Structure 1
Amino acid sequence: MPTRKETAMTEDTAAGASHELEINRLLRAPRAAIYRAWTEPQLLKRWFCPAPWTIAEARVDVRAGGSSHMVMQGPDGERITMRGVYLEVVPGERIVFTDAYVRAWEPSEKPFFTASVDLTDEDGGTRYIARATHWTEADRKAHEEMGFHEGWNICADQLERLAQELAAAPA
């Protein structure tokens, strides 16, 4: 019979899973180039949202407690501002960020999700796992209906091409 602690852990895990969306892919590019594309504003602008949308502005302070500010621009001029805070950064391996805060410990008006990106070497490329953990199951469902899988996979394709380009460039 499971202990109270084991039962609570199982319930917490099940609840977290119902709030999570994930893409898990092998990208044919080196981990260092993928990490660089995640952490340099000029590179983020080249892949971070699915074309034909673009990133019009990108400012990032990639460290635990650092903030990010990006503006997505649509083909008809529509703009979406995204602000957040980095919670965990392990250079070359892991980035965790959230929109629950806009900077330092200033809460956002309506938090939507916390994202994690994990990078590991695999078969000459990089295992790329990107997760979005939402505050509610309704938020997860809304994100999925917005096109999470299609959009995040398009972005992963764009990221892979950029990282390949970076890796092929002379040092």
Structure 2
Amino acid sequence: MRRVCTNRRKSVTRNDSEKDEFPLSERPNYQERNDGRLDLTLHRVVDVPRSLIWKIWTDPEQIKKWWAPRPWSTVDCKMDLRPGGIFATTMRSPEGQDFPYVGCFLEIVPEEKLVMTNALEPGYRPAVEPFFTVVLTLRDLGGKTDYTALVMHRDEEGKKKHETMGFHQGWSTVLDQLVEVAKEL
């Protein structure tokens, strides 16, 4: 018996160097919006060029300088900037306690968007205790950058936990620290 597929999809081959004609955010079923019940957002216009923010966000040595709100520090950062690639940091408290974060990148649009999650570990391996997905969007404003970090949580409890941990103050502080790093470069 021969099986016949009546709903065939066209196969497309492309070189890795070709730009994706249909990034995730432009696909018909993709929904990226702020759900007030589940999501937290930091939005600000910063006086730093988008290309420099991108450089600071995608260089592990630069991330160590701004990722944790002072007096905390970031003592380690590993990054493989590709979908499925690792994004891992270790933040250290003033008392010396380490807090590791391990996740992976889902989408990378150079100088425009980074999507990463700790719901998946590198190579898309499911994580034991996922916490959130981050959609970082950067828009060029002629030497300034429209900076939006949308942090999506699985449930209201996860969002509340992140808020209680100080999401708004913490993420705002580290953005200020990122701007400081940019001014030094």
Query: 2:181 matched to which residue of 1?
Result: 162
Q: Which residue pairs with 1:4 in the alignment?
A: none
Aligned residues: 155
Q: Deviations over 1:27-76 (max 9, x none)?
A: 11111110111100000000011011111110101111111121101111
Out of 88-97 and 121-130, give the one that drifted further: 121-130
Gaps of 5+ in 1: 1-8, 167-171
Partner of 1:152: 171
Q: Greater share of strand residues, 1 or 2?
A: 1
Q: Tell me if 1:76 matches 2:95.
A: yes
Q: How does 1:20-169 map to 2 (within 5 A)?
A: 20-122=39-141, 124-166=143-185
Instruction: Name structure 2 gaps, 5 residues minimum.
Output: 1-28
> Any conservation in 2 of the 1:30–1:164 contact (CA below 8 Å)?
no
Kindly indicate whether structure 1 or structure 2 has the higher relative contact order, using CA contacts under 8 Å at least 6 residues apart: 1
How far residue 124 of structure 1 moved from its aligned partner, in angstroms, is 3.1
Does the CA-based 8 Å contact 1:30-1:163 persist in structure 2? no
Aligned partners of 2:106, 2:55: CA distance in 1, in Å? 18
Corresponding residue of 1:18: 37
1:98 to partner: Cα distance: 0.2
Deviation >3 Å, runs of 4+: none
RMSD: 1.7
Give the AA of the match of 2:150.
R
Look up the equivalent residue of 1:117 and give its one-letter code: L
TM-score computed with the length of structure 1 as normaliser:
0.86
- Per-residue deviation, 1:146: 0.7
The offset of 1:163, in angstroms, is 1.6
Distance 2:166 2:33 in 1: 24
**What amino acid maps onto 1:55 in structure 2?**
T
Greater helix proportion: 1
Structure 2 CA distance for aligned equivalents of residues 72 and 118 of structure 1 = 23
Could you say what secondary structure the match of 2:70 adopts? coil
Q: Distance in 2 between matches of 1:90 and 1:164?
A: 24
- The percentage of counterpart residues that share the same residue type is 37
CA distance in structure 2 between the partners assigned to 1:89 and 1:69 by the alignment: 16
Secondary structure in structure 2 of the residue aligned to 1:161: helix
